Chains A and B, each alone.
Chain A
């Protein structure tokens, strides 16, 4: 099974999705938003950050999240992961922890959106950073899992 087959594509979609999502967050919070804050007038800045945040949120909900869930589920199925095996030390527990951390990251990302819409800027930014750092943790745990 060392050729480029269907499962390589699934894995590719999963890894690429994660990389793009984390990369997007990084680019947004390290490059685009700081520059916007520095270069734009206050009013334009607020509109810009709100729009950028919403668009990335839509992208996450419409593309990244479905792709990650679908490909992740498919790979778990391909590997024969059962509910019981998730509790076992080693592969199962690492995967379960990764999933749990992923859920927390998603909650933080969602909380970011909510806080932002309510105008609680500090809370929103904190949650954005939590989500960013946490998703790096997800990637860390993912690299600990053997290849499908």
Chain B
């Protein structure tokens, strides 16, 4: 093998000369730019760990799956060619494999981050395919090739490719939730081992057999050809045993497997130690880093075996988990840094002079960096209290970032030289890097969820009137949330005391609400959900955990509990028994105008609706606090033609209560326009009335029973095309009336039981009985009716008339030219329509809800028809 045969500096022979071919050089350069980009993103994600629940996962996978995988695919192919004295594989196919790997990695990362299991699964499949192709190339290369003394090293690369295929498959199972709760722990441990010790560990170990003597500047030991296959057999066999045993739950077999792996590493390290000579190495920096990295691999695997031996799998997971950062930084990152320190100058430089210059750049301050990095890893590894771990992370990250900067500058130089015609590539690289960082930061900000410490999104604090509070202990363990279901009465202020009793970390995020930070074993955190008014779900956000079953349902049930908000507004309240509809309205009271004006001109109708508490007289002598749109219940009637646009500005003037609005006449995604706005906020709700009908609008904030029941409803009339003019047009919105303090237990109970105190047209019981509507004999009248509920529909009838026109829910059921007649317009809650009739002669025509319970309790009025 040329590297070592050529002595201290590989200047001649087949392997270095290949680098001189500018195409190959450019490809290596590009690959390293990709590696550096992944590394930079990994660092960014690592710093974002506190804010993003998935960031820890993201940081690890950006590093291992992005940076390390790209480097391994590139270098293992490259070294295999050199070691086997084989022909270069087809360039385009190499590029395609590398692109496939990177695309798959991006897909996996985005899939897990955005919680898209289908994307994750597809990307895993692509990764397996690309790496399988890589494996095929490595195997094929061995056939018919001359084979150098170190040909066995290629075996490490092949085994590693198999390991990544297994690891990707396991990772896919975990991330998409196919692992299931029971197998999760074992499969996750298997995944960690096969990727870290297999995909990363094996090729690194194999490469060290030739890289180590080269970096030291000595001849390769004769024993290497014998030791390398042994090391592969031990590590590969041990890893296979470990992975199978972990997946199957055989603890001691797993320990034995790790033992074999350690033995393999030990054999190699022993050889490396013997290779060290007194001579000063070619690159002291690279030598120290590679040596330290090998040391961390040995220490890490020994600790891993000890942890697996000492603890049950579920607990071992946390222990192994804490080893991951150590191996990640101490072994993988350090090997990467050490190897690149030596190899990048070899790859990029065109002569010994330039190589020395580049190496000088990459080795700048190496002693300090090595010490910082390894001290950081030691702080991470030791079981020290919190600040020590954080300090370790910071110093390791600082060392890594420093190397990144050096590498970037070297790559920029290389790019500068690689460019033809002297045109500088530096601006392109720098610009791309800066633009990419800006974009990644923007995406991080855009995706940052709710504030983890802030209060829950208060759906409608106070509306329930019930201020009952409840605290529930929630434990996370065994991939389950216990209890998995919490039933609360509506409006209950819920607190969750979340404790992680699991060996591995979890968090708990409430849908549209607060989330805990990542909880280690024994950690707890309180989540204040505020008043719960609708069903919510909570789950662990770690990749795959929700899919594996870590969910909690919070279910609103039954009636308002024990306690009621006793504080009374204005209502001087008569109980239902005391409601006297024959009494008189107080002086100054005015009925709600039932006349409906024609649709105003123009195709855009703007209106401002203010949500507020308003006290109004809702029945003779009975004042009641209502929740109103535009100061009245029902709110203003809006009218237009098909195709008109309504632009409604909802302003919440209501102190201490959120409201929203829902126009049935519009068709749009409810998410934004129908959201609840808090006191003082405004919301512009635009919709186009595409279809004719008499439509309901109402408050969209839960509990809607109360918001509608307390008056937050109204009508939108959209004329059917060709609607004929008539002499009189009325609009009547029917509803139930519930007296009492809005939101009080007593009132809400009546709403639940459907026992209103009265029924009303246009919000006030019996108002048109006291102040009749007027018409003339022979006039044609049209009654628009909308049933607002909240619970009851209506059977609208005008005594003494027959309807010749019935239009209900967007269709004419009857037209004047048809022989039939109609007596009732029946509407379920929220339905609407109109009827037409002609008053034959003067007189008093009662109109009623022909459900006589409703009619007698307020849902009646009179049309006074004169000559």
Residues of A that sit less than 8 Å from B by CB: 1, 34, 37-38, 77-82, 84-85, 89, 91, 93-94, 97-98, 100-101, 104, 122-134, 136-137, 140-141, 144, 146
A129 in contact with B438 (CB, 8 Å): no
Q: Which of A34, A82, A91, A141 contacts B443 (CB 8 A)?
A: A141
B435 in contact with A97 (CB, 8 Å): no
Residue of A nearest to B688 (CB): A1
- Bound complex: CA of A124 vs CA of B424, how far in Å? 13
- Bound complex: CA of A88 vs CA of B273, how far in Å? 58
- Bound complex: CA of A70 vs CA of B438, how far in Å? 25
Interface of A is mostly: helix
Q: Which of B426, B682, B684 contacts A77 (CB 8 A)?
A: B684
Looking at the assembled complex, report how far the CB atom of A130 sits from the nearest CB atom of chain B, in whole angstroms. 5
Cβ–Cβ < 8 Å partners of A130 in chain B: 431, 434-435, 438
- Bound complex: CA of A77 vs CA of B606, how far in Å? 13
13 contacts between A and B (CB under 8 A): A37-B421, A80-B685, A98-B442, A124-B427, A125-B428, A125-B431, A127-B431, A129-B431, A130-B438, A132-B431, A133-B435, A134-B438, A136-B435
- Bound complex: CA of A79 vs CA of B669, how far in Å? 10
Interface 1/0 per residue, B421-447 and A, CB below 8 Å? 101101110111011101100110111
Residue of B nearest to A38 (CB): B421
Q: Tell which of A98, A123, A133 has the most Cβ of chain B within 10 Å.
A: A133
Is B686's CB within 8 Å of the partner chain A? yes
B446 in contact with A82 (CB, 8 Å): no
A137 in contact with B448 (CB, 8 Å): no
B436 in contact with A126 (CB, 8 Å): no
Cβ–Cβ < 8 Å partners of B448 in chain A: 89, 93
- Bound complex: CA of A100 vs CA of B445, how far in Å? 11
* Interface set, chain B 666-697, CB cutoff 8 A to A: 667-669, 671-673, 681-686, 688, 690
- Bound complex: CA of A128 vs CA of B690, how far in Å? 46
- Bound complex: CA of A123 vs CA of B439, how far in Å? 20
Is B450's CB within 8 Å of the partner chain A? yes
Looking at the assembled complex, report how far the CB atom of B76 sits from the nearest CB atom of chain A, in whole angstroms. 31
Seed contacts A89-B450, A93-B446, A146-B669; 7 additional CB < 8 Å A-B pairs: A37-B423, A80-B672, A80-B673, A80-B686, A93-B445, A122-B426, A133-B436
Looking at the assembled complex, report how far the CB atom of A66 sits from the nearest CB atom of chain B, in whole angstroms. 23
B438 in contact with A104 (CB, 8 Å): yes
Is B449's CB within 8 Å of the partner chain A? yes
A126 in contact with B434 (CB, 8 Å): yes
Q: Which of A37, A78, A128 contacts B431 (CB 8 A)?
A: A128
A137 in contact with B673 (CB, 8 Å): no
* Interface set, chain B 196-255, CB cutoff 8 A to A: none
- Bound complex: CA of A144 vs CA of B681, how far in Å? 26
B682 in contact with A82 (CB, 8 Å): yes
B435 in contact with A131 (CB, 8 Å): yes
Q: Tell which of A80, A93, A101, A136 has the most Cβ of chain B within 10 Å.
A: A80
- Bound complex: CA of A125 vs CA of B685, how far in Å? 45
- Bound complex: CA of A123 vs CA of B453, how far in Å? 42
Q: Which of B421, B423, B686 contacts A78 (CB 8 A)?
A: B686
Cβ–Cβ < 8 Å partners of A34 in chain B: 423
**Do A97 and B684 contact each other (CB < 8 Å), given the known contacts A129-B427, A129-B435, A130-B434?**
no
- Bound complex: CA of A91 vs CA of B448, how far in Å? 11
Residue of A nearest to B690 (CB): A1
**Do A140 and B688 contact each other (CB < 8 Å), given the known contacts A82-B681, A125-B428?**
no
